[in-house]
Amino acid sequence: MVTRAGASLARAFIAGTISGINQTVENTIGDVSTSALGSVRTLDAGDAAKAGIAGGLSKSSDRLTDFYLDLARQAGPSSRWARRRMSSS
């Protein structure tokens, strides 16, 4: 018995990787100032646009990952093995 979830799982892995990269990029944009009260990140207009795009890509990649994982869960087993066995007899 062979499952058809392999392609969906591979796509979920790729989408998850893209999400992680985008989160890293989003967190590195701008200047961070740290004091005893906490950290503050300051952004100019260009940095704000870059952070917004990176955040949007990250969230859409997360949703795409969830979609492909749901698709992989729904993929039923394939009867390819049974067909090969019957045709070889």
The pLDDT, as a whole number, for residue 9 is: 83
* 83: confidence class by pLDDT, cuts 50, 70, 90: low
- Give how many domains the chain has, as a whole number: 1
Yes or no: say if 78 and 21 are a contact pair by the CB < 8 Å rule.
no
The CA distance from 15 to 36, in Å, is: 37
Whether residue 87 has pLDDT greater than 60:
no
Residue 69 lies in a domain: yes
* 1: confidence class by pLDDT, cuts 50, 70, 90: very low
Residue 43 lies in a domain: yes
Whether residue 72 has pLDDT greater than 50:
yes
Q: What is the pTM of this model?
A: 0.60
Residue 36 lies in a domain: yes
Q: b vs e for 16-28, b when ≥16 Cβ sit within 10 Å of the residue's Cβ? A: bebbeebbebbee
Domain span including residue 43 = 2-75
